[in-house]
Amino acid sequence: MENEEHRATWKTLLAFGIIYFVWGSTFLAIRVGVREVPPLILAAMRFFVAGIVLYGWMIARGERSPSGREWRAATLLGLVIFVLDYGLLFWAEQRVPSGIAAVMLAMIPAFMALSEIIFLRTQTLTVRLVVALLIGIGGVAVLMSRSLNLGGAPIDKKGAAALIFASMSWSIASALTRKLTLPKSKVMSSGAQMLAGGVLLAVAAAALGEFRNFHPWSVSHEVWFALLYLIVAGSIVGFTAYVWLIHHESPTKVGTYAYVNPIVAVLVGYFLGGEALSLRTIVGTMFVLISVVVIATTRVKKPAAALPGEKYADA
């Protein structure tokens, strides 16, 4: 009995370590990858392969393939999540340091709160939420401002705009997820969405002419390793750990990755990626994280109406 409890504790710690540190480190892996591979092609390869693996794994275990209606829902979410959210993230990391990109995406809970207020009506706009949103916006302003003398260069405006739009896309996807018919199995649902998203990303890459400038034989081993890390560690292992935790720990505990990932990404970018760690980055990050914590601990108006949606917090 004692040994079983000990094994369960280690499994829990390992799973938390994966979603904290592996997901946090994927931002640097993306930045390494987009140095040599066009962003939408890199994202397409990552999610198509990960989707095929998860989908194939579920079919091999006897899971039913999604129905036509479920595939249509998965394709819509694949467009919103993987093309608009991740596609913009991969594109922005050509212009924005990986740690800052993670901090900007930490604003997702703020946009999700707005989605719940405007679209789902499961939350009301309270003074607490307004203050939290203003703090988060202040953090983004610190990172972008050219007038504040906090050291470090302000982030690229186009990159920042892409990341803000990516965060908004995620919040829209979260609202859609609660209204669409998806496979009951979280893994099958995620595999189908990743698979559809990978195909749509490849179509978008072709439409934007990315394949014309892509020469696989000229890509370095470092970049192929970064892609492998994103597929295996970031998507397959990371998501498996996340699903396991969702079934063994409270959603509140599991949701703490949203606070830890940006810090991990900033530190990994600094120590391993040679990215600057200025007072601007520290202050902006703290503002955003305070906003996230306040929003996450704010009670919703009608908690029973909010259905759990799929989450892809890894970058």
Rounded to whole angstroms, the maximal C-alpha distance in the chain is: 61
Residues of the domain holding 282: 23-302
Answer whether residue 17 is part of any domain: no
Answer whether residue 297 is part of any domain: yes
> pLDDT (tens digit, 9 = 90+) per residue, 228-244?
999 999 999 998 899 88
Answer whether residue 223 is part of any domain: yes
Answer whether residue 193 is part of any domain: yes
Task: Domain count for the chain, please give it.
Answer: 1
The model carries a pTM of: 0.89
Answer whether residue 268 is part of any domain: yes
Which own/partner pairs from 150-156 qualify as long-range (CB within 8 Å, at least 24 positions apart)? 150/278, 150/279, 150/280, 150/283, 151/278, 151/279, 151/280, 152/276, 152/278, 152/279, 152/280, 152/281, 153/276, 154/280, 155/95, 155/96, 155/97, 155/100, 155/104, 156/95, 156/96
> pLDDT (tens digit, 9 = 90+) per residue, 149-204?
777 778 899 999 999 999 999 888 877 887 899 999 989 999 999 999 999 999 99
Answer whether residue 40 is part of any domain: yes
Answer whether residue 313 is part of any domain: no
Kindly give the confidence (pLDDT) of every residue in the chain, 315 residues in length, as a single tens digit, with 9 standing for 90 and above.
555 666 678 999 999 999 999 999 999 999 999 999 999 999 999 999 999 999 999 999 999 999 999 999 999 999 999 999 999 999 999 999 999 999 999 888 888 887 777 766 777 788 888 899 899 989 998 998 877 777 777 889 999 999 999 999 988 887 788 789 999 998 999 999 999 999 999 999 999 999 998 999 999 999 999 999 999 999 999 988 998 898 888 876 887 888 899 999 999 999 999 998 999 999 999 999 999 888 877 755 444 333 233 344 455
Answer whether residue 1 is part of any domain: no
